[in-house]
């Protein structure tokens, strides 16, 4: 089994003089990157870092963060990715479950979580836990200059990378594929946080498959801010260019386009690619001229977006990656193949066509994944599968993953047919909300996005999109929130025409149920139905009060897709 850090260090040995990581005007060669990773691991061990130590990691993407993360894993520790935006109560619960011995955080987070500045952070939508006191007896690493609130004795991350290597501390070149390496929290509540645990081997297998599957190669200039894409670039010997922290491809695509001038490969989530394409429509002269490959992932990749990319970049290869936190990637498909495979009438699942197409082709399974179909559901296993969920370990490791996706296997080619649950009917279309909600939730200003259905008099569903804004949350369901109109404008061309909602509403929160506070879709559907019924009663005197309606073209698209 491939060890993640060993794979990166092998690239260091193969390509010592090539550029490895760039940010701003600073570039590390592979030789410099390898030296800093080894020095960081050695310095940690010299400071008392032990096998299996976990590090609560709240450091923004950048070269120092990459070096620190790989150094922690090389030192036989675990990176625990922790999002400070999750809210104080959930963040504390996640920290308790992970039980870290070390905390690595931005100096600014320490400052912002002090008694003086926490009210300001709260007004900006951040409920920060006090990092200084979050983990009693923790050793602290700081990224950035010393600021008020940083614990006394916190070691600067940049100092670790410059420390003299102490080869006697551990065998830095050794492979340890069974070591725990990464913990990523995916969902859950303050009572039962849910976290995926990966090993050095599962990450090495999956990210190595990613590098091969999207065609990464030595010297290629790759632009991404995603660690799970940048690490495969390093494994391949490519040149990873990291955008500045202020360059948000969704909210500020104009700041990102100049970085792509000489890029050869771009990775983007669908919402970011949509924003970049819209920016190029307004400023076509900024189109990159050397772009060889566009890689899409992180959310479902749908036909409307692929068609727009192909029109804008007729000679650029497109790769779409299907995967999930527990096993990434699962399958990779060429964009043109996906376009060719998805026009026409759909296959039948449960007696109806799936979203008016032959399903969603997601490509060939990568070598580290084994798949089977059980009663229509996709079940995955293989070397790329995570060890398990933190609250289940060590008693119940994952042997296989039931994905909840309905699928078809033709040899090693995988086609998704929707979700096992949560499906709405619109004519001959089956609309699966799980296909679209992640894309919508990636749009600026959206904290959560849920599609729900309100049955009409003939048994079809009127599809309603409910948004939870990141700011200015309303007291009740409303179509008047400014985010409603912004999202309504963004959806055509981003998701399938047959899934465009009939109504978009904003909500202050979503109904939850049970001890795990799972989304109560039935409760939400009832609340939305009451709102729609109320609007219908007032329709004669309140024309247009139902909010932005996106179905003006459904008839023509529906007939064309359904044949």
Of 30 and 89, more confident: 30
Greater confidence, 422 or 340? 340
Average pLDDT over residues 168-184: 76
| pLDDT beyond 50 at 560 | no
Task: Using DSSP, state whether 140 is helix, strand or coil.
Answer: strand
Domain boundary among 381, 396, 419: 419
Q: Say if residue 539 is in the same domain as residue 454.
A: yes
For residue 394, whether the previous peptide bond is cis, meaning omega lies within 30 degrees of 0, is yes
CB 205 within 8 A of CB 2: yes
- Which pLDDT value is given to residue 101? 96
The CATH number that applies at residue 137 is 3.40.50.980
For residue 422, pLDDT beyond 80 = no
91-95, 237-241, 421-425: which is most confident: 237-241
Q: Please provide the average confidence, as pLDDT, over all residues in the chain.
A: 85
Same domain, 159 and 239: no
Query: Looking at residue 430, what is its pLDDT?
Result: 65
The domain boundary residue, chosen from 419, 448, 465: 419
Assess whether pLDDT exceeds 70 at residue 241.
yes
Assess if residue 548 is contained within a domain: yes
Mean pLDDT along residues 290-297: 96
The two most distant CA atoms of the chain are separated, in Å, by 82
Q: Are 534 and 505 in contact (CB under 8 A)?
A: no
184 domain-assigned = no
Residues 410 and 437 in one domain: no
Task: Give the total residue count for the chain.
Answer: 563
- pLDDT 10s digits, 460-496: 678 999 999 998 999 999 999 999 999 999 998 888 7
Kindly state whether residue 371 falls inside one of the protein's structural domains: yes
Residue 61 has a pLDDT of 87
* Predicted pLDDT of residue 454: 82
Q: Is residue 427 assigned to a domain?
A: no
Domain co-membership, 319 together with 393: yes
Q: Which domain holds residue 47?
A: 4-176
**For the segment 57-92, what is each residue's pLDDT rounded down to a tens digit?**
999 889 999 999 999 999 999 999 987 777 788 888
Percent of the chain past pLDDT 90, that is, above it, reads 56
| Same domain, residue pair 216 and 71 | no
327: which DSSP letter? E
Residues 218 and 291 in one domain: yes
Whether residue 533 sits in one domain with residue 501: yes
Q: What is the mean pLDDT of residues 383-409?
A: 94
**Model confidence at 133: pLDDT above 80:** yes
The Cα–Cα gap between 540 and 375 comes to: 48
pLDDT number for residue 171: 53
Domain count for the chain, please give it: 3
Confidence of residue 170 (pLDDT cuts 50, 70, 90): very low
Angle at the Cα of 414 from the Cα atoms of 412 and 420, rounded to 5 degrees: 140
pLDDT band, residue 349 (cuts 50/70/90): very low
| Residues 247, 102 share a domain | no
Q: Tens of pLDDT along 377-391?
A: 999 999 999 999 999
Q: What is the pTM of this model?
A: 0.79
Residue 527 has pLDDT above 50, yes or no: yes
Does the pLDDT of residue 511 top 50, yes or no?
yes
> Mean pLDDT throughout 418-429?
67
Instruction: Answer whether residue 169 shows pLDDT above 50.
Output: no
> Kindly report the CA angle at 106 between 35 and 166, in degrees rounded to 5?
25
pLDDT at 484: 96
Question: For residue 498, what are its two tokens?
Answer: 């047959």
Residue 173 has pLDDT above 70, yes or no: no
Q: Which helix (H) or strand (E) holds 310?
A: helix 303-312
Residue 541 pLDDT: 38
Tens-digit pLDDT profile for residues 181-205? 999 998 666 667 889 999 999 999 9
296 and 392 in one domain? Answer: yes
Residues 17 and 142 in one domain: yes
Residues 292 and 236 placed together within one structural domain of the fold: yes
CATH code of 537's domain: 3.30.300.30
Of 419, 446, 475, which marks where a domain is finished?
Answer: 419
In a domain, 185, yes or no: no
């Amino acid at each position: 089994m491939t060890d993640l850090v060993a794979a990166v260090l092998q690239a260091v040995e193969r390509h010592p003089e090539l550029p490895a990581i760039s940010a701003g005007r600073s570039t590390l060669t592979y030789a410099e990157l390898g030296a800093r990773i080894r020095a960081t691991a050695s310095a940690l061990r010299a400071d008392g870092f032990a096998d299996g130590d976990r590090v609560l990691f709240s450091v923004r993407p950048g070269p120092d963060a990459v070096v620190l993360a790989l150094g922690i894993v090389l030192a036989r520790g675990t990176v625990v990715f922790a999002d400070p935006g999750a809210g104080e109560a959930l963040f504390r619960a996640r920290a308790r479950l992970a039980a870290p011995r070390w905390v690595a955080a931005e100096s600014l987070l320490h400052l912002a979580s002090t008694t003086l500045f926490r009210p300001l952070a709260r007004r900006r939508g951040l409920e920060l836990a006090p990092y200084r006191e979050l983990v009693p007896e923790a050793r602290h690493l700081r990224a950035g200059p010393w600021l008020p609130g940083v614990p006394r004795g916190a070691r600067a991350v940049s100092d670790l990378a410059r420390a003299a290597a102490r080869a006697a501390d551990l065998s830095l070149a050794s492979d340890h594929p069974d070591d725990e390496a990464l913990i990523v929290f995916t969902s859950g509540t303050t009572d039962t946080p849910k976290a995926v645990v990966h090993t050095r081997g599962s990450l090495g297998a999956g990210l190595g498959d990613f590098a091969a599957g999207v065609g990464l190669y030595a010297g290629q200039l790759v632009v991404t801010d995603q660690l799970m894409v940048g690490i495969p670039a390093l494994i391949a010997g490519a040149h990873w260019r990291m955008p500045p922290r202020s360059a948000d491809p969704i909210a500020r695509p104009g700041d990102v386009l100049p970085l792509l001038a000489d890029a050869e490969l771009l990775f983007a989530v669908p919402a970011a690619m949509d924003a970049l394409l819209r920016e190029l429509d307004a400023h076509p002269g900024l189109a990159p001229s050397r772009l060889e490959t566009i890689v899409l992932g992180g959310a479902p990749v749908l036909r409307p977006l692929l068609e727009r990319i192909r029109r804008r970049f007729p000679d650029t290869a497109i790769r779409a990656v299907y995967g999930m936190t527990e096993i990434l990637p699962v399958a990779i498909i060429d964009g043109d193949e996906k376009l060719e495979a998805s026009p026409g009438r759909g296959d039948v699942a449960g007696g109806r066509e799936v979203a008016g197409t032959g399903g969603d082709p997601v490509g060939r399974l990568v070598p580290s994944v084994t798949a089977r179909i059980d009663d229509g559901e996709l079940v995955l296993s293989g070397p790329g599968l995570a060890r398990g969920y933190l609250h289940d370990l060590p008693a119940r490791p994952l042997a296989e993953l039931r994905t909840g996706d309905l699928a078809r296997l033709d040899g090693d080619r995988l086609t998704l047919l929707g979700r096992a649950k949560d499906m709405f009917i619109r004519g001959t279309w089956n609309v699966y909300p799980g296909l679209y909600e992640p894309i919508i939730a990636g749009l600026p200003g959206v904290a959560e996005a849920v599609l729900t259905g309100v049955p009409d008099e003939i048994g079809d569903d009127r599809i309603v999109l409910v948004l939870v804004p990141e700011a200015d949350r309303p007291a009740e369901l409303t179509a008047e929130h400014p985010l409603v109109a912004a999202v309504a404008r963004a959806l055509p061309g981003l998701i399938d025409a047959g899934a465009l909602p009939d109504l978009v509403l904003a909500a202050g929160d979503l109904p939850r149920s049970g001890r795990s506070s799972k989304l109560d879709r039935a409760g939400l559907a009832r609340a939305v139905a009451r709102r729609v019924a109320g609007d219908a009663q007032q329709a004669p005197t309140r024309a247009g009060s139902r909010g932005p309606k996106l179905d003006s073209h459904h008839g023509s698209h529906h007939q064309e897709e359904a044949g």
